[in-house]
Amino acid sequence: MPQPSFLPLLSRTFVTLLAAGMCLRATLPAAEPAAPAPSPMAANPLLTESTLLYHLPPFDRIKDEHYAPAFELGMTEHLQEVTAIADNPEKPTFENTIVALERSGRLLNRVETVFSNLEAANTNPAMQALDAEMSPKLAAHSDAIYLNSALFTRVHTLYQARASLGLNRESLWLLERYHLDFVRAGANLAEFDKIKLKAFNAEIASLQTKFDQNVLKEKNADALIVDSPAGLAGLSESEIAGAAARAGGQPGKFALPLLNTTGQPALAELQDRGVRERLMSASLARGSHGGPYDNREVVSRLARLRAERAVLLGYATHADYQLEDQTARTVKTVNQLLADLAPASVANARREAADMQAIIDREKGGFQLSAADWAFYAEKVRVAKYAFDESQLRPYFELNHVLQDGVFFAATKLYGLTFKERHDLPVYHPDVRVFEVFDADGSSLALFLVDYYARPSKRGGAWMTAYVSQSQLLGLQPVIANHLNIPKPPAGQPTLLTADEVKTAFHEFGHALHGMFSHVKYPRFSGTRVPRDFVEYPSQANEMWRFWPEVVQHYAKHYQTGAPIPPALLAKLLTTLKFNEGFASTEQLSATLLDQAWHQLKPAAVPGADDVLAFEAAALRKAGVDFAPVPPRYRSTYFSHVFSNAYSAGYYSYLWSEVLAANTTDWFERHGGLTRENGDRFRQGILSRGGSQEAMTLFRNFTGSDPQIEPLLKKRGLELPANAKKPVEVDG
């Protein structure tokens, strides 16, 4: 059903309120006139700037019915502002055109930010329906701005005269980026091609939303049901209790949830191979086995539309289009990185598989290692090689200790930050915590929201987002949120993390620091608004502190006794950090290669829905990573990063950024590690700059050199062929 226009929607709201008022008047004494019905627009908290600390959204007042009218009014106001800029009879200047654009759209930005963040973190059917309706509208709204010929003429005039405008570095970069944004959005196209582009953008937006919602709905609908507690042997008592609770109280039934990745945490512990195989099969089949959530047609259509749009804009493929604006620059550069890493990764994975098969054979298992067995037997190899069981760590990784005595502690040592939990501010879910963040001099810096627990209303994975982005131009300080998907234990039980979840907490806080330390003038450059293949760099660099001696000794304490983690156990953990890296590298590379395979296609080469899985298998074979015991971290039909989010042709960013982060870790180790001097240098040189300068220039200025691949190889325990050992080449 088409989204109703703003005025009819408003009229229906008024009719409803008027009817309610008439009923009220019938009960009042005749001498007392009825109070007028309140304006629904006046009662809409999204329409005015929040008066809460840091302009935190008033979550307790925002209702589902507020979004649609706020979206409509926001788009109307934004287009009026943009039209006034485009039609300004005065000669274009940096202030009346570029700065005016930066100031425009405040209402739309506010409602879109709150809605998109909550639709990911705490959605419901009403929000999902509105998202599906608004996605093509917002795409059309963006087109109306970037394809406005009069507006582009003003931007282009300034761009051509940029050398004579006397702009400072950040302002000049802003002008250059705006010009590039317009060109890449199709501003130079002929009018009939603009019409085609608008159609592409609207359909792509709708399909991305459909893909995302299919993944979430299937995740919630297709938990694996186990019929007896015997099938859950190996899980802890609290995990079994959680599985029983998720089964809705059905006697003797247990539900194992599916996370968005191919691998599932329970696979490392489940002793029943039949249950493991069912769980892995269910995970791999998501989005591709028919039914209402099948994403094969969506994948095929999206890939085709993206390819056609790229050609329309003058690029060979969607990957060429996407990479032009990233630090890697070219498809050739990305392909070389992946080709260099794939052979060593798969070779390591095969060696790891041989160790596991040896255990299976010694136990007279009578089967060949499969993807369902990998995590279970990897733990057996870990125990055999290192006398180390990762489950021994969990009592020392209690959530609150990790957060406050680990993540926050490292930030205090590096940057002088302090944190105060606020219980007086509204949140959108009871599990969310709010901290005010103070700088080293005691001044207020930011608000930080922590949302760590999984729930059906929350999409999978982990991410950082900004509810308010820092800007000197607009006088705004940041409100930043971190989201994880840690299973919530039964009431009264502690939340004990895996080593990987600890890593994720430090990783996402690296993104948070990027947002909180932002110190730029223009909203366009705030925080993590940097090239996609640079955005993961600060977050991956922050992972180094999780096992830094001073930090881990401060937070890794037994949740019951408070005893620090035994040195021998910690030593075993550190010894095994490269353990299973063949698997980790191969599953990540496989997903990365799938992303590139889809997005380096010409339009006519995109397979139809029935051939999606065959194309996937052929792409993995061609890249040399088709090793069945190690499937891709994401298969195409649930690869949300690239088919519903902003990482299309960009999933390589994690590896690319990891090269930069490994070089940065090496720099910190050579310069004294966890010191305020080092932290302040990283803050001033990288974290505070956002997108206000060319990203690789910031990196080179900080480290003093081009990135080298050897630190990453050392970290992952990989070795390239001798002729491949070279700097990471960046075109331009």
Sorted by sequence, the CB contacts under 8 Å of residue 47 that are 6+ apart come out as: 41, 70, 73, 107
Task: Answer yes or no: 436 catalytic.
Answer: no
Phi, psi of 6 (to 5 degrees): -60, -45
Choosing from 390, 508, 587, 658, the catalytic residue is 508
* Buried-state track 61-95, b at ≥16 Cβ within 10 A, e below 16: ebeeebbbbbbbbbbebbbebbeebbebeeebebe
Q: Which of helix, strand or coil describes residue 601?
A: coil
- Output DSSP code: residue 190: -
How much of the chain is in helix, strand and coil states, percent to nearest 5? 60, 5, 35
User: How many angstroms separate the Cα of 328 from the Cα of each of 184, 239, 324, 343, 579?
Assistant: 17, 43, 8, 21, 29
* Residue type (1 letter), 303: A
Distance CA 421, CA 411 (A): 16
Sorted by sequence, the CB contacts under 8 Å of residue 404 that are 6+ apart come out as: 419, 555
Sorted by sequence, the CB contacts under 8 Å of residue 236 that are 6+ apart come out as: 269
Q: Residue holding tokens 């910190």? A: 668
- Any alpha helices (H) in 96-222, and if so which ranges? 100-103, 106-121, 125-146, 149-160, 169-184, 191-221
User: How many angstroms separate the Cα of 366 from the Cα of each of 213, 271, 360, 692?
Assistant: 41, 15, 7, 59
CA end-to-end distance (rounded Å), the chain = 48
Distance CA 34, CA 12 (A): 21
Distance CA 170, CA 677 (A): 25
* Buried-state track 612-642, b at ≥16 Cβ within 10 A, e below 16: bbebbeebbeebebbbebbbbbbbbbbbbbb
Beta strands in 423-497 (DSSP E): 433-438, 444-453, 463-468, 479-486
What are the structure tokens assigned to 384, written together?
């055999």
Q: 479-486 and 463-468 as β-strands: parallel, antiparallel, unpaired?
A: antiparallel
Instruction: Quickly list DSSP for 28-46.
Output: S-TTSPPPPPPPTTTT-GG
Contact 262, 635 (CB under 8 A): yes
CA angle (85 as vertex; 82, 88 as ends), nearest 5? 145
Contact 393, 569 (CB under 8 A): yes
Q: Residue holding tokens 């698997």? A: 583
What are the structure tokens assigned to 566, written together?
């035994």
Active site residues: 508
